[in-house]
Structure 1
Amino acid sequence: MAIVQQSAVAIRESGIYIDGGWTSPSDHTLVDVENPATEEIIARVPAATSADVARAVTAARRAHDEGGWGRTTPAERREVLQRFAEIMDRRKDELVEMNVAECGSVRWFAEAGQVGGAIAHLRSTIDAMASFAWEQPSQPHFGNGIGQGLVVRESYGVVALISAYNFPLWLNMTKLAPALAAGCTVVLKPATTTPLEGLVLAEIGEEAGLPPGVLNVITGDRVPTQALVNHPDVDMVSFTGSDAVGTQIYQQAAASLKKVVLELGGKSANIVTEDADLDAVATEVVTHTIIQAGQGCSLLTRTLVHRSRQSELVEKIAAGLEAVRVGDPSDPATQMGPLISAAQRHKVEDMIAAGKEAGATLVTGGGRPAGLERGYFIEPTLFTDVENTMRIAREEIFGPVNVVIGFDTDDEAVALANDNPYGLSGAVHAHDPVRAYSIARRLRTGAVIINGGGGAFPDISMPFGGYKASGLGREYGAWGIDEYLQTKSIGWGVGRG
């Protein structure tokens, strides 16, 4: 892979990684990779074709069935993954620079969340492997003789991993780590706009000692995605992205009865009771509005507050958002960077316009920041006087936009929170932890944060996934490994005449 140094960022004119080596694609079409803060092209990667996908799947199939990766022991796989983590640690600075450049992450978050979080997830998976129940004996049973057996967990086979642009290294790793831990072989297809960190994983896997064909990385847009989902030798698909694309993948995979894990969108509600600590709530709301410029499916983007405290909380949130420094993500002082693309900014601006037209009150933001002529920046935005039926309250905006909705009773708050197509995350703030827990249990969502516990994202030691349109399956830790395993029962008779 050729690397040209420009500033602090490695600019890559790469091939695709198949069967343990870099290879030219069957078509010479290239896809530009853009720095969303500067609008400069920082790399060009191949647009893989169906023929390239077929080569990658064939390599993965051979590595699983003939190469023996699927028959390695958990201890052997764990050793390889430990080396993988050590190499990622060593290359952390490079990965941070790459994330800032291709994803627009502000530097502190690239270090702690994007790259640091990915490494932490890999190490969490390694730890989970040590105590995972890879096989369990059955209880002896008596009938026509004595019978006993063993329940074993085996790799699902060849899996297609298709990830989103907002947390490229993190999302790639939340799929790759458990898939490799389970003994699967992989074709990884990173997001079109943020492919570079996925390609680096191929380099790291090779150095860590992954046999040829175990990890294959292809780039491109819809063509390789559709080819992977439709390929008969792909046993499972794990996808992170929009619910619209997730639904298409689910429908296509059904034709061959592939297993599908989907981590999709969210419109998560943050319930704030009349006795909550509003300073803590305001800090949390601001954080969830600006992290990765609001491009996060589990972010708390609907603030449901008791009407007696609504005005006070809106004032505090607005003050926090107006103090946010938006700009160059490579500057350590910047608190919020750009959206990923011109198309995404256009979508967010359309949603802001829809909020105004529906009668919501724009408290702050809503435009493009002054002095930032290049880059896909938009101001942190807050709406109040929002009805739960408005588009800005129901649809995932994927930008730095938060909406405030009032309620009078806990029952009304729960009803408002659950009256949404999504169910990925949520939060409750209440002085009485018992009351907060009671509300949390009633929410139709995959995760709930009580009184700020757990920070901006779910704990990686706990399962992560959604209800309703937010997806299928669970990721993280032992729950993530479990998704990539089949269950086999082996029984035998003892003492038959």
Structure 2
Amino acid sequence: MATAYSFSARLYIDGRRTDGRAGTPVLVRNPATEETIAEVPGSSAADVRLAVEAARRAFDEGPWPRMRPAERAAVLLRMAEEMERRLPELVAVNMTEAGSVRALAESLQTRVPVAHLRDMAERVMPRFDWERPMDPTITPGLGITQGVLRREAFGVCALISAYNFPFFLSMMKVIPALAAGCTAVLKPAPTTPLESLLIGDFADAAGLPPGVLNIVTGDVEAGRELTTHPMVDLVSFTGSDTVGRMVYTQAAASLKKVVLELGGKSVNIVRADGDLDGAVRAAFMGITAHAGQGCSLLTRTLVHESVHDELVDRLTAALAKVKVGDPADPATTMGPLISEAQRDKVEKLIRVGEEEGARLVCGGRRPPGLDRGYFVEPTLFTGVDNSMTVARTEFFGPVGVVIPFADDEEAVRIANDSPYGLAGAVWSADTVAAYEMASRVRTGAVAVNASSAGVIPRAAFGGYKQSGLGREWGEFGLDEYLQTKTVSWAAR
């Protein structure tokens, strides 16, 4: 079937749109209605190889890596202008392919990545230390030497994105890769390819040279081709820790650099003197925002035993008011999960929680009256021990747990007793104590008296432990796509 949108939902290879070489077509479904909204070409292994070869030529022979940073920044700004012009279209696509409610589609899903793009071109690139002189040094036997430390593009990058924030996550890879002077092949998730394919239009409008950015589709086969191809120098992957380990293993054979942004079971710590209103809002958003499909959402609430019952009562009351349904309905406050398989996984984990003895205080079922769409009620468990599956496994669904603690030492111990370490929050009227606790929690970001550390471009996003390797956003993300070269000479 033809796409329902105005743009060409076809592969983008070497600056041209193509239907590919007879890969299996990808059907894109609206997760709220289960209706097929578009059919896009499925990339074969041959298509992926063509895209990699185009990126290799563009890097080795084309102008992009040899442009001055200011010249590349000008192209990126033109891309941002085109994205801003077509924001309504991006929002509409996001709501139908990813199932976002409008408020989320108009903010984090679309406007925020454009803000990151502008920040890279306007703030980071002009100030970045692309070349650093080395002071003359007297070295015994070598005399006086001096030189320059250069930051140079890493090469051809494979960018593999996830389904939950399709445009945002793809752009968090495309932005630093292009800013660094790299060339790239982007592969979005097979369930949400449309927004990423649209980036090809923005590249054309901005005058990006052919081959610098290529966009393919596909699933396991296409991903394996990217992670093992000898012409690829760097792999950046966002997704589950299970698949992340596979990507890491596949890339290791040719010693590619790997950047991984993986899962989380992020902790929301509420001390006895914490702001319960704010802490409840954070826990509420951790469960309901994008139906819990976010790696940094706060889904594991640790609360001091003296205020445990009050927090649970407030949170349960708030969850009972959530309107679950089609994001096209303005009254909807929480949409669907992305697929039937994801809903099945979440429902299975909920059953495991009940079997292990956790107390289901709300939700846990499919909402009544919604016979189509991949919906699950907002769900909360109490009576949870941190050793339980529901406390240790990432649901990627609208499920949260509440665990009591007696003192700060126990809270930190429980917080760090997790295979993940992506995000967190600490709530306390004693900001010094909150800061000290935040410094002891082993996660990549911790917010004090806030629901998250934000999505500001100046932050560094990434995790500890099985939450990943490397950092994204701003100058930290740019640094991942650069090599450091020493050029030295004798000073006489």
Range into which the TM-score falls when normalised by the shorter chain: over 0.9
Aligned counterparts of 1:131 and 1:318: Cα–Cα separation in 2 = 48
Aligned counterparts of 1:351 and 1:392: Cα–Cα separation in 2 = 7
Report the alpha carbon displacement of residue 487 of structure 1 after superposing the two structures with TM: 0.3
Aligned partner of residue 139 in structure 1, secondary structure: strand
Residue 76 of structure 2 corresponds to residue 74 of structure 1: no
Residue 290 of structure 2 corresponds to residue 295 of structure 1: no
Report the alpha carbon displacement of residue 493 of structure 1 after superposing the two structures with TM: 0.7
Residue 84 of structure 2 corresponds to residue 89 of structure 1: yes
1:366-394 per-residue CA deviation (whole Å, 9 max, x = no partner) reads 11111111110111011101000000000
Residue 130 of structure 2 corresponds to residue 134 of structure 1: yes
Residue 25 of structure 2 corresponds to residue 24 of structure 1: no
Paired letter, 1:300: L
Paired letter, 1:462: A
Paired letter, 1:432: D
Aligned partner of residue 308 in structure 1, secondary structure: coil
Report the alpha carbon displacement of residue 47 of structure 1 after superposing the two structures with TM: 1.9
Residue 48 of structure 2 corresponds to residue 45 of structure 1: no
1:323-358 per-residue CA deviation (whole Å, 9 max, x = no partner) reads 111111022321110000000000000111111111
Query: Is the 1:107–1:331 contact (alpha carbons within 8 Å) kept by the matching residues of 2?
Result: no
Structure 2 counterpart of 1:361: 359
Aligned counterparts of 1:453 and 1:349: Cα–Cα separation in 2 = 26
Query: Is the 1:282–1:317 contact (alpha carbons within 8 Å) kept by the matching residues of 2?
Result: yes
Residue 456 of structure 2 corresponds to residue 462 of structure 1: no
Aligned partner of residue 163 in structure 2, secondary structure: coil
Residue 404 of structure 2 corresponds to residue 394 of structure 1: no
1:416-431 to 2 correspondences below 5 Å: 416-431=414-429
Aligned mate of 1:125, from 117, 120, 123: 120
Aligned counterparts of 1:177 and 1:156: Cα–Cα separation in 2 = 14
Aligned mate of 1:306, from 266, 289, 304: 304
Aligned counterparts of 2:83 and 2:190: Cα–Cα separation in 1 = 22
Paired letter, 1:371: G
Aligned counterparts of 2:267 and 2:126: Cα–Cα separation in 1 = 36
Residue 484 of structure 2 corresponds to residue 494 of structure 1: no
1:217-269 per-residue CA deviation (whole Å, 9 max, x = no partner) reads 00011111000001000000000000000000001101000000000000011
Aligned counterparts of 2:64 and 2:452: Cα–Cα separation in 1 = 36
Aligned partner of residue 403 in structure 1, secondary structure: strand
Report the alpha carbon displacement of residue 12 of structure 1 after superposing the two structures with TM: 6.8
Query: Is the 2:279–2:451 contact (alpha carbons within 8 Å) kept by the matching residues of 1?
Result: no
Structure 2 counterpart of 1:474: 471
What are the ranges of 5 or more consecutive residues in structure 1 without an aligned counterpart? Answer: none
The TM-score, its normalising length taken from structure 2, stands at: 0.97
Query: Is the 2:3–2:39 contact (alpha carbons within 8 Å) kept by the matching residues of 1?
Result: no
Paired letter, 2:423: S
Paired letter, 1:62: R
Classify 1:37/1:12 alpha carbon distance in 2 versus 1 (closer, same or farther; 3 Å): farther
Classify 1:458/1:427 alpha carbon distance in 2 versus 1 (closer, same or farther; 3 Å): farther
Paired letter, 1:168: P
1:97-496 to 2 correspondences below 5 Å: 97-126=92-121, 127-143=123-139, 144-452=142-450, 454=452, 457-495=454-492
Classify 1:481/1:25 alpha carbon distance in 2 versus 1 (closer, same or farther; 3 Å): same
Paired letter, 2:318: G
1:282-314 per-residue CA deviation (whole Å, 9 max, x = no partner) reads 111111211110000000000000111111100
Report the alpha carbon displacement of residue 3 of structure 1 after superposing the two structures with TM: 6.5
Paired letter, 1:135: E
Query: Is the 1:37–1:338 contact (alpha carbons within 8 Å) kept by the matching residues of 2?
Result: yes
Aligned partner of residue 138 in structure 1, secondary structure: strand
Query: Is the 2:3–2:37 contact (alpha carbons within 8 Å) kept by the matching residues of 1?
Result: no
Structure 2 counterpart of 1:61: 56
Aligned partner of residue 189 in structure 2, secondary structure: coil
Aligned counterparts of 1:385 and 1:275: Cα–Cα separation in 2 = 22
Query: Is the 1:267–1:395 contact (alpha carbons within 8 Å) kept by the matching residues of 2?
Result: yes
Structure 2 counterpart of 1:34: 29
Aligned partner of residue 475 in structure 2, secondary structure: helix
Aligned counterparts of 1:474 and 1:361: Cα–Cα separation in 2 = 37
Aligned counterparts of 1:120 and 1:440: Cα–Cα separation in 2 = 28
Aligned counterparts of 1:479 and 1:342: Cα–Cα separation in 2 = 36
What are the ranges of 5 or more consecutive residues in structure 2 without an aligned counterpart? Answer: none
Aligned counterparts of 1:24 and 1:323: Cα–Cα separation in 2 = 46
Aligned counterparts of 2:282 and 2:395: Cα–Cα separation in 1 = 18
Query: Is the 1:31–1:46 contact (alpha carbons within 8 Å) kept by the matching residues of 2?
Result: yes
Query: Is the 1:31–1:47 contact (alpha carbons within 8 Å) kept by the matching residues of 2?
Result: yes
Query: Is the 1:118–1:174 contact (alpha carbons within 8 Å) kept by the matching residues of 2?
Result: yes
Paired letter, 2:232: V
State the Cα RMSD in Å.
1.3
Aligned counterparts of 1:436 and 1:124: Cα–Cα separation in 2 = 30
Aligned counterparts of 1:439 and 1:414: Cα–Cα separation in 2 = 7
Report the alpha carbon displacement of residue 13 of structure 1 after superposing the two structures with TM: 7.0
Query: Is the 1:13–1:43 contact (alpha carbons within 8 Å) kept by the matching residues of 2?
Result: no
Aligned counterparts of 1:97 and 1:282: Cα–Cα separation in 2 = 31
Aligned counterparts of 1:270 and 1:256: Cα–Cα separation in 2 = 40
1:165-222 per-residue CA deviation (whole Å, 9 max, x = no partner) reads 0000000000000000000001000011000001000111011110000010000111
Aligned partner of residue 232 in structure 1, secondary structure: coil
Classify 1:28/1:423 alpha carbon distance in 2 versus 1 (closer, same or farther; 3 Å): closer
Query: Is the 2:424–2:452 contact (alpha carbons within 8 Å) kept by the matching residues of 1?
Result: no
Aligned counterparts of 2:422 and 2:432: Cα–Cα separation in 1 = 22
Aligned counterparts of 1:168 and 1:162: Cα–Cα separation in 2 = 11
Aligned partner of residue 88 in structure 1, secondary structure: helix
